[in-house]
Structure 1
Amino acid sequence: MTTVTASPGMALRFYRYCWLHYRRNWKGTIVISVANPLLFLVAIGAGLGAVVGSHVDALGGVSYLAFFAPGMLAAASMQNGMIESAFPVSYQRMPGRAYPVAVSTPLEPVDVLHGHALFMAVKIAIGAAAFCAVMFAFGVAASPLAVLALPAAVLTGFAFAMPVAAWAVTLPDVRPVQTLFKWVVMPLYLFSGTFFATTQLPEAVQHLVALTPLWHGVELCRTLTLGTATWAGSLTHIAYLTALALAGYLVARRTYHRNLHP
């Protein structure tokens, strides 16, 4: 395979295209990316949280809202990372769409990857920032370290976005994307510590859950928000998520080149 040098200027061209396209279609995505998670936070965290209170031993003595909010922040970022990568990438790589058109110009597949990846990261950050603003308005931040939950959430979302983009660019159409949300997103939502402490699960299941990226994102965001973070634990979570994002990026460089190069 011929080695192609990436051009930041070319990548920014595709990044600007992504924003131009988004400005024309933002109303269709804002509900899924921002409104849904925020409404979920209010309904489950504040509504159900008022019933649960802080009487469940597994919550560690904090309110259910304080427990749930940072977990939902990580889960929403995971969802946004997949939303921004799965369908858009599989759709835009189809004949006549943005990807094939872009690589017929001086842009290389790696420039398209870099430009779109930057757009994904910014979109994940916007959704996470909106969520954090509401979360902090509810007063659930128990530590000054809670401000670091925002970059932690962005890292979580990006750790999902890159591997999914590497896969989505190989798809002949968008139909397989639906199976991703059915068989990956929903199980991770339910069994990665977002809604309840994983210590309530059987020990064997706990070990399996600890291997999932969302569990690391949830634990990182939650411990930072509650002020229970440790250097060892946080660095482990960061290393895991960074390694996943980097691996996804390296694979994406190959799959983008293989599937888009004219």
Structure 2
Amino acid sequence: MAEFTPQPSCADDVDHNNLTVKQASQRIHDLLSPISSWQKVSLRQALGQILHQSVVSPRQVPPYNNSAMDGYALRSADIQNAPFSLTNIGVAFAGKPYQGRVEDGQCIRIMTGAKIPDDCDTVVMQEQVQSNEDMVTVHTDLKAGQNVRLAGEDIDSGDTVLPAGRRLTAADLGLLASLGIAEVVTYRPLRVAFFLLAMNYVALVNTWLMDKSTTAIVTPSMACSVSSILMSLIWGSFLITDPH
């Protein structure tokens, strides 16, 4: 009987003709040229794209001193050992600030996020006071500046909020929108093409129109899988080409 020598196959433990993943990745990397072109896109189109330029905040966040609690805004000069009383002269809502002055011995009702009047610098929580018509009695010890969020405390005007090279997430877009930024400069997205070489490949829509007895038909399951994987890895345009 003639001696039989098996041919290399995918069943072998090691195929010495194959590249390792690291070697294959390096060869691909060596053939790539980084994208340098950029584009200006709206926030609705920017998800997943890479920033070409750092984003600098045009404003402070918060934009003004505001209340961290529902309660009463007062002057720290009026703080005494509890209990002590103040006269309530008005109310401030988020988006609708109190317009008058707050004098000695006075306070205003204030809601979370509302602008602190220029004359006030401290807020006492509503749970720590007793209100009787226009008279408010404070039943806790306070410190100047308590329960106040200062302008620029989170982000100051001119701060870099997102660096160049960052892939934009949904949270990033929300941040940019909160700063009044409508457009960003990003790198042009990658464009990837891949080709299916199966000779009996047919379009997915056509397979549903064929007689069920038809054999030797390959539906484009690989195309759907590969394109989905690429879209999850690279934000860009994809071309699926039928070799026929």
Which bracket does the TM-score occupy, shorter chain normalised?
A: under 0.3
- Say which one has the larger Rg: 2
Could you say which structure has the higher helix fraction?
Answer: 1
Could you say which structure has the higher strand fraction?
Answer: 2
TM score, norm. by length of structure 2: 0.23
